[in-house]
Amino acid sequence: MTGKLRLLDQVREQIRLKHYSIRTERVYCEWVRRFISFHNYRHPVEMGASEVEAFLSNLAVARLASASTQNQALAALLFFYKEVLRQDLHWIEEVVRAKKPSRLPVVLSIEEVQWILIQMKDESWLISLLYGPGMRLMEAIRLRVKDVDFVQQETLIRYGIQSLSPLDRL
């Protein structure tokens, strides 16, 4: 029956068989659509590793995509070729990789934290302290003493999460 389905429907079917999330389904279908569009709507069976490399390199060079975006596109295309088209792409070596950021951003310095604590008179200071630098509730709860680097004057948020509930968006 998969031979009669359109390509994106076949992608959806394989993703659902593997019980991937609905978000993964949407994103993978979007990457497959972009890949086909990038190559002027050629059928993916006619294309291979070199076309995937060209697409991923274009993401990094022309579109200035982040490393995680490029990795997501690669995962989607590898899934598409392996699970839907039943083709193994030979190892993709010629891809221009997107650059990863060299360091984490500074959240608050020691002096800034001291100043904030002095300025606040009631319990609301804790909420402002956490949400001021953009930390989510679970990021603040998981913050450990060793995540505060007094030498570099940085606060490391190691386990950043996506908002999953309305409470995280407060």
pLDDT at 110 (0 to 100): 78
pLDDT at 31 (0 to 100): 96
pLDDT at 130 (0 to 100): 66
pLDDT at 167 (0 to 100): 46
The CA-atom distances, in angstroms, between 111 and each of 103, 128, 135 are 21, 16, 19
Specify the higher pLDDT residue, 151 or 85: 85
pLDDT at 25 (0 to 100): 95
pLDDT at 9 (0 to 100): 95
One domain for residues 115 and 71: no
Give the domain-ending residue among 23, 50, 84: 84
Average pLDDT, the chain: 79
Q: How far apart are CA 71 and CA 131, in angstroms?
A: 30
* Structure token pair of residue 129: 């302290």
pLDDT at 160 (0 to 100): 57
Domain that holds residue 27: 7-84
pLDDT at 166 (0 to 100): 46
- Is residue 98 in a domain? no
Q: Is the pLDDT of residue 119 over 80?
A: no
- Is residue 57 in a domain? yes
